[in-house]
Amino acid sequence: MSAKRTAEPSPESVARANRQRLAQEEGAQALADLEKQAVEIRKNMQRLRTLREAKLAEEIGRTSPPQPVKKKRGKRIAR
């Protein structure tokens, strides 16, 4: 009493296979979009890091070396 399989798949199995195929394609597209965004973010981070480092180097070059601090002499109290 085994059921024989027909050569044609049922409409439900065709619809299920179609949904799985669409989900797989959408998933692959979503991963590609995420990778593209990640690359763009890394490029922007590198650009901002370069600007920040250039600004810091400019600030360091603009400041003069610190002047030596003179010690204050305390008042002498006569005994």
Q: 32 pLDDT exceeds 60? A: yes
State the virtual CA torsion across 21, 22, 23, 26 in degrees, nearest 10: 120
Is the pLDDT reported for residue 41 higher than 50? yes
Half-sphere exposure of residue 62: CA atoms within 13 angstroms, side-chain side: 6
Domain residues of the chain, as ranges?
Answer: 13-62
Residue 67 has a pLDDT of: 73
